Amino acid sequence: MTTDEQLVMAIESLSEHVVLFDANDRVVAANRAFRELNADIAEYSKPGTRFEDHLRAAIRRGLIADAAGREEEWFRERMERHRNPGAPFEVARQNGRWFRLHEQRLPNGGTILIIGDITEAKRADRALHESEARFRAVVNYSPTKIHIKDKQGRYILINDLAAQLFGVTEEGAKCKTSHDIFSKEIADAFVAHDRMVMEAGQATEEEEVWPGPAGPTTFLTVKFPIFDRAGKITGTGAIGTDITARKQAEEKLRRSEETLRDRVLELEAAQRKLEKQGQDLKRLADDLKDARDDAQTASEAKSEFLASMSHELRTPLNAIIGFSEVMNEEALGPMGSELYRGYAKDINESGLHLLSLINDVLDLSKIESGMEAVHEEILQVPIVVDSVVRLISQRAEGSGVALEQDLPENAPGLRADARKMKQILTNLISNAVKFTKAGGRVTIRARCESNGGYEFEIVDTGIGIAPKDIPKALTQFVQVDSFLSRQHQGTGLGLPLARTLVELHGGTLSLESEVGVGTSVTLRFPAARTVWPSSYRPAREAG
């Protein structure tokens, strides 16, 4: 084995994520850890990929937590760091993970990027800070005076109440002794108490009287020794409780018995009021339940009405479509005027369009009423996609839109309902073609995710949708208000119906779009629906 081969093997086995870029800022090589970290954007991490494209893909897929909400700004900052490498820096990525990045220019003009996972260190550091903050909060917000001294009697810590009593700040008291702060008489008493604690090796208590503008205040102070791990005394701690305030509170309590009796009566009245409010809330809950039941009944009635109406309309529509086809083809003889043939064609096209809309409504009503079942079979994904593309290709060519497929070799099967799967893809691809101008492109991709699930992606270069309008696009019977969308007919059921059919398979549909750039619709099916052929297994099963 050559030295180069040993070096490659060593880098490949590193737990750090290592990637090497050439002088043109393209990936030359990346070790296993880097590939696993970027598995979601593997196509943008291969040799030959520009760093800029890799970075944009990571941001687009939401892998960089630091970039959320400021994607372009973060991208520019990261590119500046990459072009001018300096000190290591930290980046938060997906799933709460933290990494320290070290970039360095190479003599050949290339760049090496080494990424270390510091998630555990970050967590430990955060836990330490939180622990210190909690300790400081407990000490400072404690109603007692607290201080700690070292073995030489120098103050290490005093809380806010102790600082107030001492007449100093916490920083002002650090490393000073009692004789530096108090009069000799008071300091001698404190030092004697400290000495007693260290000699006895156990806690003792003593009353301390502090003068104040409202009169003397008495604290019951417990002093205790502080031991190191070896059992040696390293200093003393003290916790003082203001027993003067306690005595005053007890006196006030005795004088306030009558007031307390009045308060009890008020509380009883408040209790009765709360009971009445509870009864009112129960009645309101009952009313809400009735309203919910009424809404459910109305929804069921709506679904039944839509199903009934759709069936009633389809019979005459089929007749209209059939007769218009006979007239258009002049099967029973010529009609005479060319206008009649044009009218027959218009009737036929309008009837087919209306029948398609009614079918969408009927499918939706079946799903909502729970009558729609999934008839599963193992589908050959390339065949399904190709059949849908061939169905739509003539329409795409007529609109000047290119249709492209990006399917993996040795694609596994998909356990799904063939008719519904074709309906999903037909709706989505037709939508993409409809809203893409001449010269544009629609790409259909399919791939298996790292978790074994199946993913489809339909990407177009069409007019796009504003982020705020995406919820509208996924809502039944709602169309996004744009100039191009108003040029096309429809019920606004295409996307909602596709999403509902995907969810029937246990999957999800998500949509990303930008006005003037295009739209990307992603379908994800669970791993249980992926059927691997015997000649092919995912990497995670290899061994």
376-539: CATH topology is: Heat Shock Protein 90 (3.30.565)
User: Among the CATH numbers 3.40.47.10, 3.40.50.300, 3.30.450.20, 2.30.30.100, which is that of 3-122?
Assistant: 3.30.450.20
Q: 210 to each of 3, 164, 219, 250, how far by Cα in Å?
A: 78, 11, 8, 20
Secondary element (H or E) of residue 444: strand 441-448
Burial class (CB in 10 A: 0-12, 13-18, 19+), 325: middle
Tokens of 505: 């398979």
Residues 406 and 445 sit within 8 Å (Cβ to Cβ): yes
Name the CA dihedral angle for 34, 35, 37, 41, rounded to a multiple of 10 degrees. 130
The residue among 332, 388, 326, 330 whose CA lies nearest residue 351 is 326
pLDDT of residue 474: 77
Architecture of the domain made up of 142-251: 2-Layer Sandwich (3.30)
CA 32 to chain centre: 26
Measured CA to CA, the distance from residue 165 to residue 146 in angstroms comes to 11
Q: How far apart are CA 394 and CA 430, in angstroms?
A: 11
* Residue 191 near residue 178 (C-beta atoms within 8 A): yes
Query: Which amino acid is located at 320 in the chain?
Result: I
Selected from 1.10.3470, 1.10.150, 1.20.1050, 1.10.287, the CATH number assigned to the domain covering 260-368 reads: 1.10.287
Cα separation, 75 vs 353, whole angstroms = 46
Residue 471: per-residue pLDDT: 84
What lies within 8 Å, CB to CB, of 223 at 6+ separation is 193, 194, 197, 203, 204, 205, 206, 236, 237, 238
Are the beta carbons of 366 and 307 closer than 8 angstroms? yes
Q: Pseudo-torsion of CA 130, 131, 134, 135, nearest 10°?
A: -150
Which CA distances in Å does 340 have to 234, 319, 326, 331?
A: 108, 18, 12, 14
Tokens of 79: 């590119």
Cα–Cα distance for residue pair 47/29, rounded to 1 Å: 6
Give me 192's structure tokens.
């004697």
Q: Is 474 exposed, middle or buried (0-12, 13-18, 19+ CB in 10 A)?
A: middle
In angstroms, the first-to-last Cα distance of the chain is 24
10 Å Cβ neighbour count for 505? 21
Q: What are the residue ranges spanned by the domains of the chain?
A: 3-122, 142-251, 260-368, 376-539
pLDDT score, position 272 = 87
Q: What is the pLDDT of residue 174?
A: 85
d(Cα 362, Cα 375) in Å, to the nearest integer? Answer: 18
Q: Report the 3 state secondary structure along 115-164.
A: EEECHHHHHHHHHHHHHHHHHHHHHHHCCCEEEEEECCCCEEEECHHHHH
C-alpha pair distances (Å), 51 with each of 14, 16, 25, 40: 21, 18, 6, 16
Closest CA to 379 of 495, 228, 505: 505
3-class secondary-structure state, position 409: coil
Residue 542 has a pLDDT of 36
Residue 433 in contact with residue 401, Cβ under 8 Å? yes
Rounded CA separation 199/320 (Å)? 109
* Identical topology for domains 3-122 and 142-251: yes
Q: Residue-wise pLDDT tens for the chain (543 aa)? A: 676 566 667 778 788 899 999 999 999 999 898 988 888 999 998 999 999 999 999 999 888 888 889 999 999 998 999 999 999 998 988 788 899 999 999 999 999 999 988 888 888 888 888 877 776 677 676 778 888 899 888 998 888 888 887 888 888 888 889 898 888 888 888 888 888 888 888 888 888 777 766 677 888 888 899 998 888 998 998 888 888 877 777 778 888 888 878 888 888 888 888 888 888 888 887 888 877 777 666 666 666 666 666 666 656 766 676 666 667 666 666 766 666 666 666 676 566 556 555 666 666 665 665 556 778 999 999 999 998 999 889 889 999 999 999 998 888 999 999 888 988 998 899 889 999 999 999 999 999 988 889 999 999 999 988 888 888 777 755 555 544 444 555 555 678 888 888 998 999 999 999 999 999 999 999 999 999 876 445 444 433
What single-letter amino acid sits at 300? E
Q: Which long-range contacts (CB under 8 A, 24 or more apart) does 106-111 make?
A: 108/22, 108/23, 109/22, 109/23, 110/20, 110/21, 110/22, 110/23, 110/28, 111/20, 111/21, 111/25, 111/51, 111/82, 111/85
Give me the pLDDT at residue 264, please. Answer: 85
Q: Which residues of 193-221 are buried (b: 16+ CB within 10 A; e: fewer)?
A: bbeebbeeeeeeebebeeeeeeeeebbbb
Residue 443 β-bridge partners: 404, 459
Q: What stretch of H or E contains 57? A: helix 51-60
